[in-house]
Chain A
Amino acid sequence: AQSVAQPEDQVNVAEGNPLTVKCTYSVSGNPYLFWYVQYPNRGLQFLLKYITGDNLVKGSYGFEAEFNKSQTSFHLKKPSALVSDSALYFCAVRDSNSGNTPLVFGKGTRLSVIA
């Protein structure tokens, strides 16, 4: 079975500081990993994904994520946070053997960037 854990319900960071939103996963095969962001009263927007290759993946709005197979993690990072980054962030996973089945999502982490 596939699962995702986002251990932090809330992350607070000062504007201009680096931010990290944590995600760990569990799959039986190889993982395909995704990050989505949800702004207030909006649907989820795709940020980035890891399929294969370079462990550091760059995505939209200056975000990046690092795949770590030994730690089964895919933490989302940004070198310098903006107030506009405040939103709800979801990590998701799909097993490489599962076809185009629904993504399994974490419970989400609310990021608050303080000016």
Chain B
Amino acid sequence: GAGVSQSPSNKVTEKGKDVELRCDPISGHTALYWYRQSLGQGLEFLIYFQGNSAPDKSGLPSDRFSAERTGGSVSTLTIQRTQQEDSAVYLCASSQRQGQISPYNEQFFGPGTRLTVL
């Protein structure tokens, strides 16, 4: 596709349930990022994948959060035993075409998944 896609667009779940959020980055982009945007807050970095390197998990708020990226493309963010404070919009972004590693590559964002934990 032309841009970053995310699914589902909206997810309502009950407290204590597990959820999976999917991100499909732009083809050829080797870097993939997950952010969380809570109401009235900026973007909170969660996790970052760069090619085949070990992911940077420094932003994950607790061990209930995990993410994987299969085959260097699609990524899944999993939240186990969801809590009400997990309610937010989860944004995925990708950047960098192969062979163009550069700190000035902008990130391209998907539309986000709005998670509501009841």
Contact = CB atoms under 8 A, between A and B. Distances in A.
Contacts of A104: 45
Contact of B96 (A43, A100, A107, A108): A100
A95 B103 contact: yes
Contact of A90 (B43, B95, B101, B104): B43
Nearest to A4: B42
Interface stretch (A15-23, A44-52, A67-75, A76-84): A44-52
Interface residues of A, number: 27
Interface string B96-110: 100001111111111
B36 to A, nearest CB: 11
Q: Which one of A41, A44, A102, A105 has the highest number of Cβ atoms from chain B below 10 Å of its Cβ?
A: A102
Contacts, number: 61
Contacts of A12: none
Given A43-B4, A43-B112, A90-B43, A102 B48 contact: yes
Contact of B42 (A42, A43, A106): A106
B111 A107 contact: no
A49 B96 contact: no
A99 B104 CA distance: 8
Given A43-B91, A105-B42, A106-B42, A98 B103 contact: yes
Interface string A82-115: 0000000010001111111111111110000000
B50 interface: yes
A34 interface: yes
Interface of A: 32, 34, 36, 41-46, 49, 51, 90, 94-108
9 shortest A-B CB distances, which residue pairs?
A: A107-B42, A43-B109, A44-B109, A105-B43, A43-B111, A51-B104, A32-B104, A46-B106, A102-B45
